[in-house]
Amino acid sequence: MNIASNGDGRNNAELATGLFDDYSVNHQFFDEMFSSEGKPYPHCELLCRSLDSMPPDSLLKMQSQVEQSFLRDGITFSVSSENNTLERIIPIDCLPRLIKLQDWNHIDSGLKQRLKALNLFLSDIYNESKILKDGIIPVDMIYGCSQYRPEMRGISLPQGVHVSICGTDLVRDNDGFKVLEDNLRVPSGVSYMLANRKAVKSNFRQLFRQYSVQSIEHYGALLRQTLNELVPHNTDNPCVVVLTPGVYNSAFYEHVFLAREMGIEIVQGQDLLVHNGFVYMRTTSGLKRVDVIYRRVDDIYIDPLTFMPDSQLGVPGLFHAFRLGNVAIANAPGTGVADDKSVYSYVPDMIRYYLAEEPILPNVETYLCRNPEDLEYTLDNLDKLVVKMVGESGGYGMLVGPHATPEARDEYAQQIRKDPANFIAQPTLDLSRMPCLTPDGAAPRHVDLRPFILQSREINIVPGGFCRVALTEGSLVVNSSQGGGGKDFWVVAE
Amino acid sequence: MLSRNAYGLYWIGRYMERAGFVSRLIIDQLQAIQDRPVEDIHVGWKRLYSTLGTRPISVDLDPNMDDESYMLADVFTLTDDLVFETHNPDAVLSCFATARENARQIRNNITYEMWTCLNVSYLEMRDVSLLDIWETQPEDFLTKAALAVRTFNGVSDSTMYRDHGWHFLRIGLYQERVINITSLLRSHINLFPTSEAHREWNWSSLLGICEVRSAFRNLHSIKFNPGHVVEFLFADEQLAISARSAMTIIQQVLTDLTADYPDQKDKPGIQVRNALALFDDQWPNRNKQDDEEALAMINSVNHACQLLNHELEQNYFFYEIEDTPPA
């Protein structure tokens, strides 16, 4: 099967009939399914043939059924509006994204290398600060970072693990995979990875078997094992809990999902108390000691005595218990300093510094507006760049230069000039594309990938990730809060 | 089990039972509207609102109104308020919504089957309005809601692990049942004293709300003797829906809870034991011609169950931390 292939996206090659009739490859963007000649990659041929033989209507029906099953199962996220909170599903596109095992192994190595370095970095800056003393990273960038927690200074964690759960965003262009950002605080999306797998697997049973897709279903067990290994004292059966801000948090479904997958309790701040430096939860049979907290609450809310005094979500005295080593918190407070968008640009240097290795996965080229030369370049090229605020996430507070109006760019430039250190800029990424189901057949949409990396005694990754897709034609924004959806991601033997 | 989760399960039990009960109250009333004289319909509304302990909204329940006006002015509005009004916590949809919201918060403590059963029922009801069902058979909608409650109870029974969560779900369910049955009996006897001659329909309707007409007929033939009906619904040991049966189950569950943890305070158990003793000691020896005496005992059981809520909170859900926690 061939599909259209040219530089401007118009259809001018031999056409197949069926799902991919109007699909075309644009050379500017790497296509996850078709080569630049318009042929499916060898590992995608079986999928393409199979999809192409299915009536598009049946795929759309399947997609609708999957979305209904998400609603029925309560796989939703909350969106707050002025008057109320709505539950929405994250749209799923049923066509899976495939990657060769060989390519995955490359990613796997790169992600492990990266998390290892990031944990060494966090241990270092909260203790000896050698990397700062050696001038590898500017001191003011770390100590001036809003996510740096001086309260963490001098705390040595078991195995030196500050980040136990990491979600790293990867993008792919014609040069290969690159790291867009690391999410080291409370990365979300893993429940959708698993839900998408369950839904797509049940609809493509035969294909799934033929491909021998690598399993990801053991993520819950692996996460539980990771958290068990963080327990700061000897106990056979540690009490591990998920700490959630509550039902109004947009990721609440995921918090409950993970608690269920791990067979542990999900607690809110009001369920916990600290007594004599130990943490307890209130149960129907009295107080029960808690050993490990997988917190899905931001640093500043976890303990009103240490961080934000008016926090209603936290537990008074929790940080004290943590500092005494009587309870483990994953991820540890203060990890956000390492996923600050300015610090991100130094991760390759961290890898070289701590591991004496070259980074396996490159960063996206980044301009730090705190540097006068980068600032000047950014302001001169706003129409070509994506500019982000260093402390924001979820696609908020950013300017996509090529898509912004001149007025919006001018307004944003003023903000940058006021506080240059709060901004970084990156080239507009040529995010890879792949077929997505539309009422008119398959159409190309941009995708990224968030694999989840777990570290305690060792580093583990399930072979997969939450593949996010920008469902709007031409859009590069994949965030679920801004109209993005998800896809299942298959690691397959070639 | 985490206290907050046990509390959530307790309220799921209560709200689901309430949803079923309110549905059956309205079904009975809608059926009365089809063929009963306006006086009966009026008294039916009075019994319904007295049972729920609320007042009808913005409607003048004037029994002197002519039939057509009564139907147009009141029935639709009252039914809408009792079924779909989200600001009415006793409305059927509100009960489902609250039970589901509790379930959403504690999904790791209920089974997938329980969640699906509750969520699907709620989603199916959520997008319906009374206008959609009024022209056809509004009772069918409510019958479906009552069936959803029974299905949920069956699914819970067959899939849930018998831990503290299960116990508190059952306490909530049976506590709500006792409160509902005793409130209904109280309202009914106040409106239709057992000593006065009444048309059989009123007592048959009472049995219908409790879905025990055929069980009663099997036991007492087809004559709806008021004294027998009260005895049946309040004190029959073999009738699953009777106040006594429900109290017995609550007592058993509380015993199971304290057996696991002997140092747990037994206050809730004492309240229930005292109320249960009433069925053995005072109830059989009452003056059967004296409704006041019967009402006092019905009120006493109702009160014990109302208090149980507070006692459970003090002992299991929001207890004070008095002792040094375990090391």
**Which of B1, B107, B112 lies closest to A283 in CB terms?**
B1
- State whether A271 and B264 contact (CB < 8 Å): no
Percent of chain A with pLDDT over 70: 95
Residue type, A257: F
**A286 touching B (Cβ < 8 Å):** yes
Whether chain A has a CB inside 8 Å of the CB on B299: the answer is: no
Minimal CA separation from B139 to chain A, in Å: 25
Radius of gyration of chain B (CA): 20
Nearest to B108 among A74, A259, A278 (CB): A259
The pLDDT tens digits of the residues spanning B174-207 come to 999 999 999 999 999 999 998 877 678 889 999 9
Q: Identify the pLDDT of residue B263.
A: 61
Residue A427 is predicted with a pLDDT of 93
Distance from CA of B21 to the nearest CA of A (A): 25
Q: What is d(CA A335, CA A148) in angstroms, rounded to the nearest whole number? A: 8
Q: Does A120 touch chain B (CB under 8 A)?
A: no
Please judge whether A71 and B123 are an interchain contact, meaning their C-beta atoms are less than 8 angstroms apart: yes
> Cβ of B270 under 8 Å from any chain A Cβ?
no
- Are A286 and B120 inside 8 Å of each other by CB? no
Token digits of residue A91? 């749209």
Does any CB of chain B come closer than 8 Å to the CB of residue A271? yes
- Assess B6–A contact: CB distance below 8 Å, yes or no: yes
A15–B contact, CB cutoff 8 A: no
Q: Is B265 on the interface with A (CB under 8 A)?
A: no
Establish if B159 touches chain A: CB-CB under 8 angstroms: no
- Closest Cα in chain B, distance from residue A369 (Å): 43
The minimal CB distance from B119 to the residues A74, A266, A284 is found for A74
Structure tokens at B146: 């009552």
Share of chain A above pLDDT 90, in %: 74
Q: How far apart are CA A470 and CA A477, in angstroms?
A: 6
Are A296 and A251 spatial neighbours (Cβ–Cβ below 8 Å)? yes
Query: Do A332 and A325 meet the contact criterion of CB atoms below 8 Å apart?
Result: no
In this complex, how many residue pairs, one in chain A and one in chain B, have their CB atoms less than 8 Å apart? 82
Any idea which of A146-155, A341-350, A387-396 has the lowest mean pLDDT? A387-396
Which ipTM was obtained for this model? Answer: 0.85
Can you give the pLDDT at residue A68? 87
Contact assessment for residue B91 and residue B22, using Cβ atoms and an 8 Å cutoff: yes
Residue of A nearest to B7 (CA): A284
**Distance between CA atoms of B319 and A343, rounded to whole angstroms?**
47
A41 touches chain B (CB under 8 A): no
- Residue B86 at interface with chain A, using a CB cutoff of 8 Å: no
B46, B20 contact by CB (below 8 A): no
Query: Least CA distance to A277: which residue of chain B?
Result: B327
* Interface check A205 vs B, CB under 8 A: no
Which pLDDT score, from 0 to 100, does residue B56 have? Answer: 77
Answer yes or no: are the C-beta atoms of A162 and A119 closer than 8 Å.
Answer: yes
For residues A427-441, give the mean pLDDT.
91
Element (H, E) at A149: none
**Whether B107 and A282 lie within 8 Å, measured CB to CB:** no
Residue A284 with chain B: CB contacts under 8 Å: 1-3, 6, 164, 168, 257, 316-317
* Interchain proximity A282–B319, CB inside 8 Å: yes
Chain B positions touching A71 (Cβ under 8 A) are 123
| Phi, psi (rounded to 5 degrees) for B121 | -60, -45
Pairing of strands A286-289, A292-295: unpaired
CB count within 10 Å of CB B248 equals: 16
B2: which chain A residues are within 8 Å (Cβ-Cβ)?
265, 267, 271, 281-284
pTM of the prediction?
Answer: 0.90
The pLDDT tens digits for A178-207 are: 999 999 999 999 999 999 999 999 989 899
Question: For residues B161 and A84, which has the higher predicted lDDT (pLDDT)?
Answer: B161
What contacts B314, CB < 8 A, 6 or more positions away? B267
Nearest CA in chain B to A68: B120
Q: Which residues of chain B have pLDDT under 70?
A: 58-73, 198, 260-267, 322-327
pLDDT of residue B62: 56
When the pLDDT of each residue in chain A is averaged and rounded to a whole number, the result is: 91
A273: closest chain B residue by CA: B321
B119 reaches A (C-beta below 8 A): yes
Q: Parallel, antiparallel, or unpaired for β A85-89 and A459-461?
A: unpaired
User: Looking at the partner chain, which of B101, B104, B164 has a beta carbon nearest the beta carbon of A284?
Assistant: B164
d(CA A352, CA B12): 56
B4:A271 CB<8 A: yes
Task: Using alpha carbons, select from A133, A121, A188 the residue that is nearest to residue A161.
Answer: A121
**Residue closest to A337 by CA, chosen among A163, A480, A145, A151:** A145
Gap from B58 CA to chain A (nearest CA, Å): 25
Residue pair B88/B81 in contact (Cβ under 8 Å)? The answer is: yes
User: What is the spatial distance between Cα A73 and Cα A410, in angstroms, rounded to a whole number?
Assistant: 46
Q: Nearest chain B residue to A246 by CA: give it.
A: B105
Answer whether A74 touches B (CB < 8 Å): yes
Interface test with B, best of A284, A290, A293, A296 (most B CBs within 10 A): A284
Are B2 and A282 inside 8 Å of each other by CB?
yes
**Residue A279 to chain B, least CA–CA distance (Å):** 10
Terminal-to-terminal C-alpha distance of chain B: 19
Query: For residue A170, what are the β-bridge partners?
Result: A179, A449
Of B166 and A57, the structure prediction assigns the larger pLDDT to B166
Distance (Å) of CA A93 to CA A64, A247, A469, A486? 10, 27, 8, 6
Q: What is the mean pLDDT of residues A13-33?
A: 78
